[in-house]
Amino acid sequence: MRGNIADPRYHEFRVLLSTCLIGLPLMLLFPIPLYFLDKPIAGYFINNALVIITLLCARYFGHYRIPMTTTALVTYFLIYDWIRDSGLIFSSNVSLLHMYLLCAIWADKKYGWWAIFSNLAVFGFIYHQTLYTHPVKSDAMYALIMNAMITIFFGGFLAYLQMDQERDRIKIKSLQDKKITMLDEAVKQRTEQLNAMREAMATDFHDETGNMLSAITRQASLLKQKYSEGDEARPIVDSIIKNSRKLYSASKDFLWQLHHDSDDPQELCQYLTAYGQQYYNQFDIAFSSVSANCPPVQFAPTAALNIIYIFKEAMTNVVKHAAAQEVVFNMYGEEKQITYQLRDNGHWKVADTSQPHYGLGNMERRCKKNGFTLSVSSTQEGTCITVTIPIQITKEK
């Protein structure tokens, strides 16, 4: 309940526990002067023990009414015992009943005000007992009336303040809930507008740029047929065709990332799986994918595209350097992170330290820039490339 302030019992438990935790050390102050005045102090320790039992019941069983009611009744008996031995209605210990009233209303906003009536009943009983021991009945009546008036005024005033605060709290919470609902609706509408805009951009880009790249490729292919094998212009045409196809392939990643489903880690896994199957089929390398359930979250806007680039580079490196026969792509989600993993069974070539390695460097830079964690581990069984995305840089759906 500590992490769920929306729970209907949260405020009630919070007030009770804070009252008990504040009251425990304060109650331990009373026995100190009473000990030196040779007055009984056992009742204070009994009361503290009952408060601790109430806390334990709330902590381990989620209920506190029975132990708290028991504590209230026992407290009345303890206070009466002190009052009886020190002058009954004329005792200075009668002030403890007013203190008890304050604690009851403070600790229990729902039923604490009933202590007003129980206090009046106890005052009536004490007055009745005083009549048998005190000869001047008018003084006892005056003490009774004054204590009863203090209880009614003091208790009524506190109860009204508590109820008024509770009404204000409920009203504020209602306004907050209404505001949150309005903001949720506004965010939902805005998200729908952005998704529609992203899909429209993807469609327009595909229709214009994609078709133009395809036309360039077709025209370059026709031009290539007009040149013989040894013609100097043929390599240039081949380069145009290659770059056009490469740009078209890169644009497909960009278009997919614009689609709102690309924010879903599971959708991203399926996209990379489809790419891996198509890519490794060219090299006769077995490829498979395993994905486990992940938390219902969405990636940050640029995260998906960077993950695509990272693993496309990793898949390419497997073909260039590993001589692998089998590659497995994994995705699994944990409480605080989502992990993508590419594992192969190849034996990587020893890196030439005299030459720069842009592929791995780019992967590291992308991970660092986006807050990912990159891990590369090699064994005799193969190499594993792992990218971990913390949950804090994603958002709940």
What pLDDT, on a 0 to 100 scale, did the predictor assign at position 352? Answer: 56
What pLDDT, on a 0 to 100 scale, did the predictor assign at position 374? Answer: 93
Q: Please report, as a single letter, which amino acid is at residue 303.
A: A
For residue 43, the surrounding DSSP H or E stretch is: helix 42-60
Q: Rounded to whole angstroms, how far apart are CA atoms 365 and 184?
A: 36
DSSP symbols for 223-263: HHTTS-TT-THHHHHHHHHHHHHHHHHHHHHHHHHHSGGGG
Phi, psi of 335 (to 5 degrees): -60, -40
pTM of the predicted model over 0.85: no
Do residues 188 and 201 make contact, with C-beta atoms less than 8 angstroms apart? no
| Distance, CA of 215 to chain centre | 51
Do residues 397 and 300 make contact, with C-beta atoms less than 8 angstroms apart? no
Which letter does DSSP use for residue 294 in this model? -
What pLDDT, on a 0 to 100 scale, did the predictor assign at position 385? Answer: 93
3-state secondary structure of 57: helix
Do residues 341 and 367 make contact, with C-beta atoms less than 8 angstroms apart? no
Number of H helices, E strands in the chain: 12, 7
What pLDDT, on a 0 to 100 scale, did the predictor assign at position 156? Answer: 83
Which letter does DSSP use for residue 143 in this model? H
- State the Cα torsion 90-92-93-97 to the nearest 10°: 80
What pLDDT, on a 0 to 100 scale, did the predictor assign at position 11? Answer: 67
Percentage helix, strand, coil for the chain under 3-state DSSP, each rounded to 5:
70, 10, 20
| Distance, CA of 182 to chain centre | 21
What pLDDT, on a 0 to 100 scale, did the predictor assign at position 2? Answer: 59
- State the Cα torsion 342-343-349-352 to the nearest 10°: 30
Length of the chain measured in residues: 397
DSSP symbols for 170-189: HHHHHHHHHHHHHHHHHHHH
Q: Rounded to whole angstroms, how far apart are CA atoms 117 and 125?
A: 12
What tokens does 338 get? Answer: 């989502």
List the pLDDT tens digit at each of the 397 positions of the chain. 555 666 666 666 777 777 777 777 877 777 788 778 777 777 778 877 878 888 888 777 777 777 777 877 777 777 777 787 777 888 877 888 888 787 777 777 777 778 888 888 888 888 888 887 776 666 788 888 888 888 888 888 888 887 787 788 778 878 888 888 888 788 777 767 766 766 666 666 655 666 676 677 777 777 777 777 767 777 777 788 777 767 766 666 666 666 656 678 888 888 889 889 888 988 889 999 988 777 777 787 778 888 988 998 899 888 888 888 999 999 988 777 899 999 999 887 655 555 555 678 889 998 999 899 999 988 888 899 999 998 754 454 4
Do residues 105 and 115 make contact, with C-beta atoms less than 8 angstroms apart? yes
What pLDDT, on a 0 to 100 scale, did the predictor assign at position 6? Answer: 60
3-state secondary structure of 387: strand
What tokens does 391 get? Answer: 């949950």
